[in-house]
Amino acid sequence: MTKSLTREEMRELDRKAIEEYQIPGILLMENAGRNVAEEVVKEIDYPQKEKIAVLCGKGNNGGDGFVIARHLYNKGIPVEVFLFAKITDILTDGDASTNLRILLKMKIPVKECIDLQGVNDVLDDLGKYTILIDALFGTGISGVVREPFKTLIGGVDALNKTVIAVDIPSGLDCNTGKVLGTAIKAKKTVTFAVAKQGFYLGEGSNYTGEIVVTDISIPRDLLS
Give the pLDDT of the chain (224 residues) as one tens digit per residue.
Answer: 468 999 999 999 999 999 999 999 999 999 999 999 999 999 998 888 899 999 999 999 999 999 999 999 999 999 999 999 999 999 998 999 999 999 999 999 999 999 999 999 999 999 999 999 999 999 999 999 999 999 999 999 999 999 999 999 999 999 999 999 999 999 999 999 999 999 999 999 999 999 999 999 999 999 88
> Where residue 88 sits, what CATH number does that domain have?
3.40.50.10260
Read off φ and ψ for residue 153, nearest 5 degrees. -65, -45
Provide the sign of the torsion angle of the four alpha carbons 116, 114, 39, 125, taken in this order: positive
| Per-residue pLDDT at 49 | 86
For 161-189, what is the HEC assignment?
CEEEEECCCCCECCCCCCECCCCCCCCEE
Provide the domain count of the chain.
1
CA–CA separation, 110 vs 222, rounded Å? Answer: 36
CA–CA separation, 126 vs 120, rounded Å? Answer: 10
Helix 60-74 to helix 25-41 angle (10° resolution) is 50
Question: Domain residues for 197?
Answer: 4-223
